[in-house]
Structure 1
Amino acid sequence: MSPTMPDPGVSTARAGFEALDPCVHCGFCLPACPTYLATGDESDSPRGRILLMRALERGELAADDPGLVQHLDACLGCRGCEPVCPSGVGYGRGLEAARARISAERGLSGQARAVLGMFSQPWRWRFATALARVARATGLARLVAGSGRLGFLAGMVAATRPSRREGGGHPERLPESRGTVALFRGCVMDGLFGHVHEATRRTLEVNGYRVVEVEGQGCCGALHDHAGDQDGARALAMGNVKAFLGRADFVVVNSAGCGALLKDLGHLLGTVDAADVGSRTRDVSELLAAAGPRPGGPLALTVGYDAPCHLQHAQRVHREVLDVLAAIPSLVARELPGSDRCCGSAGIYGVLHPELSRAVLDDKVAAIGAASPVPDLIVTGNPGCLMQIGAGLAAAGLRTKVAHPVELLDWSYRVAGYYDPSPH
């Protein structure tokens, strides 16, 4: 059994609420909060929510207080308030502690239980993503994509289709090894973005990393953690710690939400083993940037970069993605206006709060449509963001597609002739 730190349930909650202590209610966070900008309600701002969370901690508000539940549920959890806070408030940890207390005392909503239950068992999410792949492959998703709840859901599935059809292959000659990396496959990424996993493997190998597969891994638990189901999150996290411990120099992740959760395993589980796996976790852009990365062949494209919240705000990884894109000759890459602002996906938020989720997304889609020139592609490193933005673009009638940054580097490496198309 792994050596332990203090009881994770108690210590995580205490640390979460204590992370709110530096708040002096200055209001610097208000312009960075998408839900406050959408509603104009102070209780939908970080400052207002911190007051509610402190009242919950002190017992001044019950866990089933309607106002408390409404305003904390409406938070995207994007953590865009954290980088602009001069006092260093750990808003994200405080929110998770508050939601965990509400969940423990009040229970999850029926919708949340249904969605999270699908990701708790591998066969369930594999079945669901298999159905989505059928809808994608037959063209049904693209045909139905558009406005309305069903059209938007179909647009999300259609957005998982690769923007280019590329062959397989592997690097002709592997450079001197920079170390061994274990690929975290996850659930949504594994079920709907297998092409991104393959691009991740190839581009890392071109840059000197040996990529290994790890059996026994599963969903990271981020969706559960964000919803307040920390018991569910811990159960999934413990399985991943067991699978990845001692297997590689690094654990590589190409999903921002998964990466943020895995890097925080030590806090979530309170074990030395969990902290070890968390300390070895890297976003794929971090490893590629550390390698240079190796320049590719030219791609004559204009792309807009939209930063996933849990990459830029939670992991504080930003420059590395731009460095990866800079390795592609002829590519014109620009950050979108408001690229640091949430797209409204936020895990299962779009299911629980579809209207507010779409209101947040509409601002981003409008900015893309107003760009001159309109980008050929929007690139972002998180599955929820890819699906949300892709569906929003389709609903708005824009022809711009979405792709993961590592896909572009993979296309560039293919143009450069780095891949041997023959099988291993």
Structure 2
Amino acid sequence: GAGLGDHIDRKEGQEHTFQNADPARRQLNQSFAVTDHCSKPLHTAISDRIAEGYTGTTAIRKDAVRALSLVFTGTHEDMKAIEADPEKLQGWLKANYQFVTQEFGKENVVRLALHLDEKTPHLHAVVVPLVEGKLTAKKLLGNRKDMSERQDRYAKAMEPFGLSRGVRGSKAVHNSEGWYLGQQQQAQKAVLSDLPKLTALDRINPARYEEKVQERFKFVSREKTDTAIELKRRTDQVRHAQASQHKAEQEAARHREATQSIAAQLLQAGKAGITLDSSYALLKAPAAIREAANTLFQEEVRKLADTHLKQGAEAYYRGIYQLEDSSKATREDYERHQKHDSEETRNHIAGEITRIFNQEIQQRWGVELSPEASLYKELRKKAADLVRELAKTILQELRKALGLEEPRQQRKSRGLGR
């Protein structure tokens, strides 16, 4: 935490941790006292927060994640535009403050600092992953779905500032701050390994001379790495934008073709004998029209099923057993119901109810569902569930009408007879 703390806090004497920062702009940086820990050296703040909030009974593992380093920013152009508007910048800072404290717990924040002295404005946050007294980064961050939903929430919070979410579910690699620093170190080592060794004549002031040469190469390599990363990010953005545009153009072309086709057929309808009804839209129209019509058709069928299927099921079921009014049922009615009510009979009734409902669909829209269609199977299952519930309801009505005691086993299953 010391190196990271030196970088975030711009610690005097540790300038090598923030060599890309412009000293002339350092006074523009801001630090926020989210908790009392924020005023302490970072490594002390982390240790104190753990001591304060950890309630586990076992010692903390040496390799446990003690803190999470987060960086909040956007594209260089977007962030410079936000910086240029003081009111917008304050709004952005407030939104980020609320996001960090709500997502990770205000009490866990040990550092929150705005840096305006580097190329792109950004906000550093360091949080201790304490959850219910346990040190667990895994539980705080969650799984892939949790992290994706957190990105959605952050994108929603950033919308007022013109910042948008990355491509959801893309294969792009989102590299961490640690990866970025690692790339810098690797580039530095590659350059430094080629430095010429000083000869005896050059050793008037060898340590100082070599230090200057090394610092110069470090700066050059870091700039090179920054440029490469920025180029990759922009290349990815362009590629994703081109893919989205290509998909949109394909969709637009398909809908244009469908619109032109339907317009032509409308003009020729009388001459060609075409009947422009729901059957035509669902079965014979151009592909884009059929797709849209089928989506609407399925929605309408489900709405109809919610009201008519239950009514039709009850009427058919009571008609089969001659039980239009259960309150006037006789012992003969009860015995007939008991004799014929079985899983096989219920399946048969569900099948008939679905078939009758399919006829109503045909009358309304001019098309009939195939028994193999997924929507037909969905309706068949719904009918079976309705018949199962009807059988139980009507049996209870018959017993009540005849004053028959419910079997002991069934009373127990419903919490009675104790």
Common topology (TM > 0.5): no
Larger % of helix: which? Answer: 2
Instruction: State the TM-score, normalized to the length of structure 2.
Output: 0.22
Larger RCO: 1 or 2 (CA < 8 Å, sep 6+): 1
**Highest Rg: 1 or 2?**
2
